[in-house]
Amino acid sequence: MKSISLLSLLVLSILFVPAFRAAAADSAAEAKWIAVLDSAAGWEEKQQACRELRVVGTVQSLPELTALLTDPQLSGYARFALEAMAYPEVDLLLHDALGKTTGPQQTGIVITMGARRDASAAPLIAPLLDNADAELARAAAGALGRIATAESVDALMQFRAKAPEGARAAAEEGLLAAAQRWTKEGKGDQAAPVCEALIAPGAQPNVRMGAFYLLAGAQPDQAPDRLIAALTGDDAGLRDMAARIIAETKGAELTARYAAALPTLSADGQVALVRALAGRRDAAAHPAVVQATHCTEKSIQVAAIKALATLGNAGDVAGLTALMAGDDTDVAGTARATLATIEGAAVDAAIAASLTAAPAAVQAKLLDLLLDRRAEQALPMAAEQVRCGDAGVRQAALRTLAALGTKDHVALMITAIDTAPDATGRSDAENALGSLCARCGDDALPLVINAMGCSKVESRTSLLRAIGRAGGAKALECVVQALNDPDETFRNEALRELSEWPTADAAPQLLELAKCEQENRHVLGLRGYVRLARASADPTIKASMLITIMDLTRQPEEKWQVLAVWGTLKSVQSLDALLPFLQDGQVKNEAGSAIITVSTELAKAAGDGKTRAAEALKAVVAACDNPAVVENAKRVLGN
């Protein structure tokens, strides 16, 4: 024998030193945790020791862990450690402990035997199946199922034959677990008889379904015939499970076999099989499913149309379009949903190609379909159809332009407004242009602004509203200029647009309106300015705006508007602004309500704010004559 070189010894020493150190470390750790179990340590320390011994424990720790199996508090933790240890001694110790325990501890030991798949424990567990302790009996059935030996399964089968209903359920679940284990291990010949016994009527529904599912995997060669037979039968549960299994398996030959069986089934069977074929996503099923879309039985037809959402292609567009045009709303709606779902640019092209020859009602639906699919043909088709004489088609085209249009479509939209046949058509075109302007902003404005100079007044007002949707400085400037237009209708529309302007850049113009002698301009200007003040997030700016606008109020109702906004500003400054209005007989109760709102918040904090709030509430009680206001003030004072 050749001698080992010095270099080889060096390499071996490098490789093995870490392993030796790890073993030594584990040994030391095990000794530490064994010592904890041997000590007078508390429950927390001992359960931690059990957890650690699950990882580092060896046969050295078995005596201490076994001693805890009868402990009501620590038995579960001891079993947790023992369950993971691959030593035959553990099984023997558990056998011994089984006869020395009762109640939850004994039940736990049975569960652990099952988790360890201890075949030698089956004779000990089997007699517990008919134990008076229901939890122990259920655990015994589960353990025998997990052990999954011929002996354990035989014990479960014999017990099931004579067991009362409640106990029989546990035995069936144990048998199902054994069959699942055997199927997973490739022991289909052993699993099949168990599954067949569990499929028979009388077993729990969930067990029957599980056994049927497993049987397909246990006997794959026989599965197609068995699945088709289930689809043919009257058992709805097995029929649905058969469909699920068919959907989950693969293979074009199987698909063809199932598809060929489709016409031979009942309506319910065909619906289930069509659903399953869709789940397979195999093009081999396509012809049979297309044929089913012509079925006179509605449930089958609808199921087939749905299936084309996954199996369909561009060649199905014409047929689905025809179904979408039909009188049956369920069929038409399903066809539309399927057309929206089938993937592929070729489908988009087929929908676009079928549009011009379709009836008007269908054209509108097809335009909406192209929009839903975000097809590249959607925008050009919409631009082509926006001048269509049919209102439905025109509306669908406008919806697409609103969603997808660009600044290049502004002129087309303006023309649609100008040439609209009636107020409804003009409103549709206006809304579409408004949406486009909102998306495109300043890029869309030049053409719209230019068109306002030459369009008829109805169109001009529509264009003005669309400009308002765009927002921004240019749009605001255009609206302000329109306030001086010669046409009264147009001026009033500009006034409404400005009064509803959403951003603070309109505040100066609204303030000027509020100063006007003209009542309608004053009212709308003041209302818009107060609205912007309410929306301001800056307390300083909000207060300044409210002080400014209060001087311009003319009617009590206008003061009420301002006072209400002061109530949203939870500060001492608000109290200072509101208190003088308690002396105004026309608005004192409204001022009191606003003071209560502010004081409710200030009273929650310590310091000057709380003191000022209390003083203000007392002033409300003294000044107001509305009983509800006075009562609310007293309530907040009392809190």
Q: Which residue has the higher pLDDT, 630 or 166?
A: 630
Residues 86-219, CATH architecture: Alpha Horseshoe (1.25)
Q: What residue spans of 61-187 are helical by DSSP H?
A: 62-67, 75-83, 88-98, 103-115, 122-125, 134-147, 150-162, 165-184
- Evaluate whether 473 touches 438 at the Cβ level (below 8 Å): no
Rounded to the nearest 10 degrees, what angle do helices 391-404 and 410-418 cross at? 150
Structure tokens at 598: 């502010």
Confidence class of residue 172 from pLDDT cuts 50, 70 and 90?
Answer: very high
Structure tokens at 149: 């030996």
Least confident stretch, 303-312, 490-499, 606-615: 606-615
| Predicted structure pTM score | 0.76
Find, among 593, 606, 605, 600, the residue nearest to 565 by Cα.
Answer: 593
Find, among 240, 182, 232, the residue nearest to 206 by Cα.
Answer: 240
What is the pLDDT, as a whole number, of residue 16? 36
Query: pLDDT per residue over 391-432, tens digit each?
Result: 999 999 999 999 999 999 999 999 999 999 999 999 999 999
Q: Which residue has the higher pLDDT, 44 or 458?
A: 44
What are the phi and psi torsion angles at 201 (to 5°)? -55, 140
Length of the chain in terms of residues written: 639
Confidence class of residue 14 from pLDDT cuts 50, 70 and 90?
Answer: very low
What is the pLDDT, as a whole number, of residue 243? 97
Given a cut of 60, whether residue 160 has pLDDT beyond it is yes
Residue with tokens 């009836």: 359
What is the pLDDT, as a whole number, of residue 603? 86
What is the pLDDT, as a whole number, of residue 402? 95
Find, among 417, 451, 419, 455, the residue nearest to 434 by Cα.
Answer: 417
The mean per-residue pLDDT over the stretch 160-169 comes to 90
What CA–CA distance (Å, rounded) separates 435 from 246? Answer: 48
Strand ranges inside 332-461, DSSP E: none
Find, among 491, 564, 490, 493, the residue nearest to 527 by Cα.
Answer: 564
Confidence class of residue 165 from pLDDT cuts 50, 70 and 90?
Answer: confident
Residues 6+ apart with CB under 8 A from 424: 391
Query: pLDDT per residue over 100-111, tens digit each?
Result: 999 999 999 999
The mean per-residue pLDDT over the stretch 54-69 comes to 95
- Evaluate whether 602 touches 570 at the Cβ level (below 8 Å): yes
What is the pLDDT, as a whole number, of residue 21? 36
What is the pLDDT, as a whole number, of residue 10? 34
Q: What percent of the chain has pLDDT over 90?
A: 86
Residue with tokens 């016994």: 197
- Evaluate whether 285 touches 311 at the Cβ level (below 8 Å): yes
Residues 6+ apart with CB under 8 A from 341: 309, 310
What are the phi and psi torsion angles at 607 (to 5°)? 95, -155
Give me the long-range contacts of 587-592 (CB less than 8 A, separation at least 24).
587/556, 587/559, 587/560, 587/563, 588/623, 588/624, 588/625, 589/624, 589/625, 589/626, 589/629, 590/559, 590/560, 590/563, 590/564, 591/563, 592/620, 592/623, 592/624, 592/626, 592/629, 592/630, 592/633
Residues 6+ apart with CB under 8 A from 38: 64
Given a cut of 70, whether residue 265 has pLDDT beyond it is yes
Query: pLDDT per residue over 573-582, tens digit each?
Result: 999 999 999 9
Given a cut of 90, whether residue 452 has pLDDT beyond it is no
Largest CA distance in the chain: 120
Confidence class of residue 373 from pLDDT cuts 50, 70 and 90?
Answer: very high
For the stretch 583-598, what's the b/e string if a residue is b when 16 or more beta carbons lie within 10 angstroms of its beta carbon? eeeebbbbbbbbbbbb
Confidence class of residue 499 from pLDDT cuts 50, 70 and 90?
Answer: very high
* Eight-class DSSP state of 442: G
- Round the average pLDDT of the chain to a whole number and report it: 92
Residues 6+ apart with CB under 8 A from 310: 278, 279, 281, 341
What are the phi and psi torsion angles at 632 (to 5°)? -65, -40
Residue 203, beta-bridge partner list: 201
Q: What are the residue boundaries of the structural domains of the chain, listed by start?
A: 86-219, 555-639
Residue with tokens 């007392």: 618
CB atoms under 10 Å from CB of 373, counted, come to 20
Residues 6+ apart with CB under 8 A from 140: 110, 125, 126, 128, 129, 131
Confidence class of residue 455 from pLDDT cuts 50, 70 and 90?
Answer: low
- SS3 sequence, 313-354? CHHHHHHHHHHHCCCCHHHHHHHHHHHHHCCCHHHHHHHHHH
